[in-house]
Amino acid sequence: MKLVYFARVREQLGCDEELLERPDGVETLGDLVNWLAQARGEPWARVLTAPDLIYALNQEVASADARLSDQDEVAFFPPVTGG
């Protein structure tokens, strides 16, 4: 699967995108976030578990219980503000 990081998430993690083979037992977006936080530690744990973080699955906003497949694109980004 392809993971994409935007705005302050990208800046804090020092990564804009990566390819990741879906780990065993990772079935949902929430599972993926938990796996990344545990496997990579800080700052990943802090950044990816922020309460205002938005997830997108295949370019559509999704919740933590969204089911994943190996071909998905998952994006992480902070709330968008406008004027």
**pLDDT attached to residue 82:** 59
| Tokens representing residue 75 in the block | 């994006």
CATH topology of domain 2-77: Ubiquitin-like (UB roll) (3.10.20)
**pLDDT attached to residue 30:** 97
- Domain borders along the chain are 2-77
Which is nearest to 78 in space by CA: 53, 51, 44?
53
**pLDDT attached to residue 81:** 65
Q: pTM of the predicted model, to two decimals? A: 0.92
**pLDDT attached to residue 53:** 94
Q: Which residues contact 57 (CB under 8 A, 6 or more apart)?
A: 29, 66, 68, 72, 73, 74
pLDDT per residue over 24-61, tens digit each? 999 999 999 999 999 999 999 999 999 999 999 999 99
H-helix or E-strand containing 29? helix 29-40
